[in-house]
Structure 1
Amino acid sequence: MNEAIPLRLLADVTEALKAGRSWEGSLQRLAELLVERLADWCVIDLLDEQGGARRVVVAQKHSGLTMGESSRLLPPWPPDSAAPLAQALRRGTAVLIPAVPAPEQATDPLERAQWELLARLGADTAIAAPLAVGGHPIGVIIVARAEGSRPFTEAQVPLIESMAHQGALVVDNARLYDQQHEIAAYLQRSLLPDSLPAVPPLRLVARYTPALTHAEVGGDWYDAIVLADGTVAFTVGDVVGHDVRATARMSQLRHMLRALLLDRPGPPDDALRRLDQALENLHEPTTTATLILGVAHPPTSAAPSLTWANAGHPPPLLIPAHGEPRFLTGGHGVPIGVDIGVPQEAAARTSHNGGSMFLLYTDGLIERRGEDLSTGMERLRRAAARLHRLAPDRLLDELVERVAPAGDDDVALLALCHAAGSLG
């Protein structure tokens, strides 16, 4: 086995661990590199919150992951266990196993399990190195060489220790990222309405999916309220930015719009003009948002209708009970917070028909890098045409699953439906 590769191996491992994989994928790639360049086998075990250990990777030079060994919960061990994992954790440094003993020499369940594994792998020598961050152990990496390969010696111990240190940083950063992403998603969801009003036969259905590619919260939102005259005002919007500031501004805009609608119900274009003016008066020059505000009159009213105003947002999609889905134009204006002097078009209007759906969404549903937005819109329209017979809840779930990119951006959807279908 070529021993003149440590520097190249270190460089390759560093690049592989920076490649943006999940922590599982990063550890798998680390194990693959070690068995390609330095060892015949590589085993990686991680500690759980209860102090136990679970095997997450077993890689072999010629056959990759060994089925039946990964995701295995390891036996407990006493403080003085001679098992390679226990030795590495206890000492806090890499440990050379110059000769793998027979399993019969083991004195505890973990030691026996580890000697049995190494014997089954045909290992002759091994090195166990702790995965630790800031002095806190999170697991152990074990590399082994089989009989017939050049035995491991103390000369390889510092290199394996360095590999383990880099692997530990990847796992620790990934776990921290997961925690931050979970908190961010919880914060975002907590600022959205707990429930949506129902004015039979009208029904509102919504979905929110946070982005998977960053830990920051975003500015996508949906909302709906019933006004004093019985009309239903509903909106979907997107504040520019992906950080806590964008989320705070989203919450501010959502509640300002609610207050304006409750104070003085009227056409949605008028409400958007007043919202823009309120931001101007509050000196919020850096708040920019796109949104659609719709107002639906109950079908029992004298003149049942749906009106909407669009402040720079992707157009609503009408999914009729019969016929092809189509995007609705009209009611256009510039995004909120851009230029209060630019006039907003009068609200657009359509009449109610049972059995169809009026869908609002944020651009995270249709936007993909390097692709024209019209391509994403057409993808949404075709998916809606295929799925239009599904129940509203299922339809929205399927649209998110089939149309949205792979978690590149937040996605918010809000559909105004009829109890027997929807409107159109």
Structure 2
Amino acid sequence: MGDDHDPERRATDRSPPESALRVNPELDALFDQSPIAMVFLDRGLRARRTNAAFRRLIGLPDEAIIGRRPSEVNGPSIKYWPATQPMYWRASDGKAWNERTLAEQVMDRGVPVVNVHMEWTSAGNRRVLSWSAYRVTENGRVLGALSCLLDITDHAQAITRAHARLELLERAGSQIGATLDIHHTARELADLAVPELADRISVDLLDQVLQGENLPRDGARTLQFRRVAVRDSAVSAKIRYEVGDLITLPVTSPHAVALLRGKPLLARNLAEVRGRFSGTPAVAEAFHARGVHTLMVVPLVARGVTLGVASFFRAEHPEPYGEADVRLVGDLASRAAVCIDNARLYTREHNTAVTLQRSLLPQRIPQVPGLRIAHRYEPASRTAEVGGDWFDVIPLDTGHVALVVGDVTGHSIHAAALMGQLRTTTSALARLGCPPEEIMRRLGDVAAEHDDEIGATCLYALYDPESRRCRLTSAGHLPPALRHPGGGVEFIDVPGGMMLGVGPSRYPATDAELPEDSVLALYTDGLVEHPGQDIGTGMSHLARTLTAGSTRSLDQLCDSVLAGLGADARDDIALLLARTTAATVC
């Protein structure tokens, strides 16, 4: 590039004389009175002229600037670069600007710099500036470069805050509502808010809403809230109401006022906190002990239903809440409220389905000759799962007994309703004396009348206590296990027809003899099918558990089977054990 690019070789005699910088009174006034900070640099990058805005910005008089390059200017209130490196500044895009790059780009190539954002720290005060520079020529001769600086700190901070808020709302979309559980969703809101938005947060839902009831009627003097989440950044902070506590508040309390009006309540400073939110000495003492200086209570509203409130507190965080924070937290609360409402609606449907399903299961197992029977029904451990597993024991006038177990696919009220219909139909057909093959075909017709996405499996066993013969037929169900008196276990090979409801199918039956004191085990797939495990492995585990268990008490054997195979089940489990006896009555 040559010596001509070396700032040290740019002699001042090649720079324009001082008189060349003042040629027009109007232009002089424009330069001097401009609110934009400007400095003119000669070919040697030495400052030749500044205006008042520039001197105010860097906090130095002309005497400390004129005749010096940027690397030579160092005042008591500002330092642009490390002493060991002639760094002029580092722009927000990461590009480093020093005297050499300024000379090469602007002076030599004539490529202007336009609106480059830079950070400037003066006396500990960080500012964001917009920097522009362009080459100045006259009659083809380069006079120097004019550099302009505009303080855009407020604008940049507003943009930064807007980006931070958008980023927070984006994280809320991915982090809140990961499950259909009310308490877990409320905790996700608390985890997102602390410590970024608050030093403490509590989420309180109306107890009536959690119980599936409507809002209190007009005229009520108190409201009852149930605390579902609370988090404090200070580990040792005292929590007055823990998760699960019932909180009764008058309708004049801030929580109730925010909820009933559907609008946030804000306390910007300590005086407003004491005046508007410290309703009782206990509350005032709690706020004082925690150091709360600003807070807001935001209603949680989704689909026109007011669910409760979320309260945000700041203690260590120095900035008070403002209207921008209210808008941000309002958006955050709205998203969280929808997720909480989804969980609430699901929980209500889940509870309804569970209630319906349990009401349709046998409430009492009848006594039957020649058999001792034990049973278990276990719902899935995850609240997001409600199955259609069912079982039944049907004594017949002929002295025979029908043992049935089935599993409706899907997890909904619809699935529970189909389960009840299949159980009722099975009982009616069995009492009419229909053979197992015919019963299964009729059940297929019933299931086919429902949604195409719902099907069912079923195993039907018709046992004769006198001959100890058992006739079995299956609609896609897992084979029953037979524990022999000596302890060995086999799975009875039952020809498997298609699932109920997926199309016409034949359901051939097979006969098996059950020795006296043997145990027949009918079960649903939730017992032996687990994520990451082959179903054959689960059936082998079932066989070993049946072998190891004692048959003296079928109830204990049921418990040992569930303890060994049913832990953390992802689906409902129905288990029916029948031990053959020589007695005529159980």
Normalising TM by the smaller chain, what interval? Answer: 0.7 to 0.9
Match of 1:376 in 2: 538
1:178 equivalent to 2:342? Answer no
Which protein is bigger by CA-based radius of gyration? Answer: 2
The CA deviation at 1:181 is 0.9
Tell me, in whole angstroms, the C-alpha distance in 1 between the residues paired with 2:274 and 2:417.
63
Q: 1:403 aligns with which of 559, 565, 568?
A: 565
Deviation per CA, 1:248-297, whole angstroms, max 9, x where unpaired?
544444344334433337xxxxx332234446788948685432222333
1:54 equivalent to 2:226? Answer yes
Tell me, in whole angstroms, the C-alpha distance in 1 between the residues paired with 2:565 and 2:581.
25
1:40 equivalent to 2:184? Answer no
Greater shift, 384-393 or 403-412, is seen at: 384-393
Deviation per CA, 1:317-343, whole angstroms, max 9, x where unpaired?
23456535x242223232355676757
CA contact (8 A) 2:497 2:505 kept: no
Deviation per CA, 1:162-199, whole angstroms, max 9, x where unpaired?
22222222222222211111111222223333322212
CA contact (8 A) 1:306 1:352 kept: no
The CA deviation at 1:102 is 9.8
Aligned CA distance change for structure 1 residues 385 and 106 (closer, same or farther; 3 Å): farther
Aligned CA distance change for structure 1 residues 152 and 411 (closer, same or farther; 3 Å): same
Q: Secondary structure at the match of 1:290?
A: strand
1:195 equivalent to 2:358? Answer no
Greater shift, 29-38 or 277-286, is seen at: 277-286
Tell me, in whole angstroms, the C-alpha distance in 1 between the residues paired with 2:205 and 2:565.
36
Match of 1:329 in 2: 492
Q: 1:312 aligns with which of 456, 472, 476?
A: 476
User: Aligned partner of 1:205: which letter?
Assistant: A
Greater shift, 23-32 or 390-399, is seen at: 390-399
1:71 equivalent to 2:233? Answer no
Match of 1:268 in 2: none
Match of 2:508 in 1: 344
Match of 1:94 in 2: 264
Tell me, in whole angstroms, the C-alpha distance in 2 between the residues paired with 1:281 and 1:161.
53
CA contact (8 A) 1:184 1:215 kept: no
Greater shift, 31-40 or 410-419, is seen at: 410-419
Tell me, in whole angstroms, the C-alpha distance in 2 between the residues paired with 1:402 and 1:396.
10
Aligned CA distance change for structure 1 residues 204 and 52 (closer, same or farther; 3 Å): same
Tell me, in whole angstroms, the C-alpha distance in 2 between the residues paired with 1:230 and 1:164.
64
1:24 equivalent to 2:183? Answer yes
User: Aligned partner of 1:392: which letter?
Assistant: L
CA contact (8 A) 1:317 1:360 kept: yes
Tell me, in whole angstroms, the C-alpha distance in 2 between the residues paired with 1:245 and 1:185.
11
Tell me, in whole angstroms, the C-alpha distance in 1 between the residues paired with 2:316 and 2:386.
53
User: Aligned partner of 1:129: which letter?
Assistant: V
The CA deviation at 1:160 is 1.1
CA contact (8 A) 1:238 1:291 kept: yes
Q: How does 1:109-188 map to 2 (within 5 A)?
A: 111-147=280-316, 149-188=318-357
Gaps of 5+ in 1: 266-270
CA contact (8 A) 1:58 1:66 kept: no
Match of 2:436 in 1: 272
The CA deviation at 1:349 is 2.1
CA contact (8 A) 2:527 2:569 kept: no
Aligned CA distance change for structure 1 residues 123 and 388 (closer, same or farther; 3 Å): farther
The CA deviation at 1:31 is 0.9
Q: Secondary structure at the match of 2:327?
A: helix
TM-score by length of 2: 0.60
Tell me, in whole angstroms, the C-alpha distance in 2 between the residues paired with 1:342 and 1:414.
25
Tell me, in whole angstroms, the C-alpha distance in 2 between the residues paired with 1:118 and 1:390.
63
Greater shift, 276-285 or 339-348, is seen at: 276-285
Tell me, in whole angstroms, the C-alpha distance in 2 between the residues paired with 1:122 and 1:140.
22
Q: Secondary structure at the match of 1:190?
A: helix
The CA deviation at 1:386 is 5.2
CA contact (8 A) 2:177 2:340 kept: no
Deviation per CA, 1:219-239, whole angstroms, max 9, x where unpaired?
432111112232222111224
Query: Percent of counterpart pairs with the same letter?
Result: 34
Larger RCO, structure (CA 8 Å, separation 6 or more): 1
The CA deviation at 1:21 is 5.4
Match of 2:135 in 1: none
TM-score by length of 1: 0.80
Tell me, in whole angstroms, the C-alpha distance in 1 between the residues paired with 2:288 and 2:295.
11
Tell me, in whole angstroms, the C-alpha distance in 1 between the residues paired with 2:416 and 2:247.
46
Q: Secondary structure at the match of 1:27?
A: helix
CA contact (8 A) 1:309 1:348 kept: no
Aligned CA distance change for structure 1 residues 90 and 309 (closer, same or farther; 3 Å): closer
Tell me, in whole angstroms, the C-alpha distance in 2 between the residues paired with 1:253 and 1:211.
21
Tell me, in whole angstroms, the C-alpha distance in 1 between the residues paired with 2:524 and 2:362.
17
Q: How many residues align?
A: 407
The CA deviation at 1:116 is 3.1
